[in-house]
């Protein structure tokens, strides 16, 4: 396995050179939220929700189920979750102008977190919004919504710690692909609705929980799954 991981590290380093950190050309209206859940160890459930920032409503929901072919290894999450999210993405009728991902962007040991990898695969702007930091040095932001502080990796700013709700743990925002940190922060802030997690991702998480509770005669699922989880 170590030899295989060494090759995957090399692949990540090569792919990270293709990631583009650039400002958005315009502020988006349709923002996607992507989340992956595991109803059973051998199956991954990937969902994408399209959220309209103007109407503050969900425009579209899609999901896909895929056999898990890669183990959970910190730093290599994209190889585990990109396949099922790509499978869900092709079912969309409305292509998001920006896609938020529950994971890291360039704030990654080799600059290729799930958001960056998925952004390269789909050729769309992506943002990593993680619940925990993977690396970097930072100061806690003020305890007020919208406050943030930069995350430094070897002296360079790779992301930001963003306070989304007073008295609640912050989230960790980083550019994925075809977006810069300033644009990413503006989109995430515009997507907040009083919860810790920005609304597109929150809706995606709720969808995974709902699908796990409902009838699950989906390919690869052998029996009805009962999902439990707190709303973010």
**pTM, to two decimals:** 0.91
Q: What is the pLDDT of residue 216?
A: 53
**Structural domain spans, the chain:** 28-213
173: β partners: 129, 160
Q: What is the pLDDT of residue 3?
A: 86
Question: Is 35 among the annotated ligand-binding positions?
Answer: yes
Upper half-sphere CA count for residue 69 (Cβ side, 13 Å): 8
Question: Is 102 among the annotated ligand-binding positions?
Answer: yes
pLDDT tens digits, 49-94:
999 999 999 999 999 999 998 999 999 999 999 999 999 999 999 9
CATH top-level class for 28-213?
alpha beta
- Asked if residue 46 has pLDDT above 80, the reply is yes
Token pair for residue 77? 């999450």
Report the C-alpha gap between 35 and 168 in whole angstroms.
21
Report the C-alpha gap between 90 and 116 in whole angstroms.
18
pLDDT tens digits, 187-226:
999 999 999 999 999 999 999 999 988 745 444 443 333 2
As separate numbers, helices (DSSP H) first and strands (DSSP E) second, the chain gives 5, 8
Would you mind telling me the total number of residues written for the chain in this entry?
A: 232
Closest CA to 141 of 185, 98, 177, 192: 185
């Amino acid at each position: 396995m170590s030899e295989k991981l060494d090759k995957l590290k090399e692949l990540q380093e090569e792919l990270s050179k293709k990631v583009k950190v650039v400002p958005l050309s315009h502020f988006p209206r349709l923002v996607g939220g992507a989340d992956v859940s595991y109803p059973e160890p051998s199956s991954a459930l990937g969902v994408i929700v399209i959220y309209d920032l103007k109407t503050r409503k969900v425009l579209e929901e899609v999901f896909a189920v895929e056999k898990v072919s890669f183990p959970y290894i910190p730093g290599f999450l994209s190889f585990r979750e990109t396949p099922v999210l790509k499978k869900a993405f092709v079912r969309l009728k409305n292509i998001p102008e920006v896609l938020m991902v529950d994971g890291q962007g360039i704030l990654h040991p080799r600059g290729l977190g799930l958001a960056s990898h998925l952004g390269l695969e789909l050729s769309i702007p992506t943002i990593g919004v993680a619940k925990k930091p993977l690396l970097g040095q930072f100061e806690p932001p003020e305890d007020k919504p919208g406050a943030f502080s930069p995350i430094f990796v070897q002296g360079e700013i790779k992301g930001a710690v963003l306070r989304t709700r007073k008295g609640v743990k912050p989230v960790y925002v980083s550019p994925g692909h075809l977006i810069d940190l300033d644009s990413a922060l503006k989109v995430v802030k515009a997507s907040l609705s009083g919860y810790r997690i920005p609304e597109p991702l929150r809706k995606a998480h709720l969808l995974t929980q709902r699908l796990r509770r409902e009838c699950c005669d989906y390919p690869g699922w052998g029996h009805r799954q009962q999902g439990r989880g707190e709303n973010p």
